[in-house]
Structure 1
Amino acid sequence: MARISIDNGRSFCEVEEVLQVIEWDVVVNYMDDNIRERVHDELAPCTEEEFLNRYLE
């Protein structure tokens, strides 16, 4: 399962935890545009959790 840091690498959380405390638009702003678009092309429509897990692979 993918884990992500929201505090500059001091700790890591599960994707579902991150999505509970940070708005999706904020998460998207930190994504690489090319990777985000590639994942969108491959996976959409999907949930935000599914998308972020794939993005982090």
Structure 2
Amino acid sequence: MNTHTWQKSSYCGQGESCVHISAAPDTIHLTESADPARTVLTTTPAAFAALLDAVSAR
């Protein structure tokens, strides 16, 4: 049973393709709304923060 509380990215436009995030103290879950399989990627907060830092630095 999926107990994640999903939040849509603030950078999502009006289209169907949006990133959704579910955060817990020790895990971050990501999914993309246009993915029919609703694949969920799971990572640590530290790894997700490093990704955001790398992306925002470009």
State the TM-score, normalized to the length of structure 2.
0.28
Q: Normalized per residue, which structure has more helix? A: 1
Higher RCO (C-alpha under 8 Å, 6+ residues apart): 1
Q: Normalized per residue, which structure has more strand? A: 2
Larger radius of gyration: 2
State the TM-score, normalized to the length of structure 1.
0.28
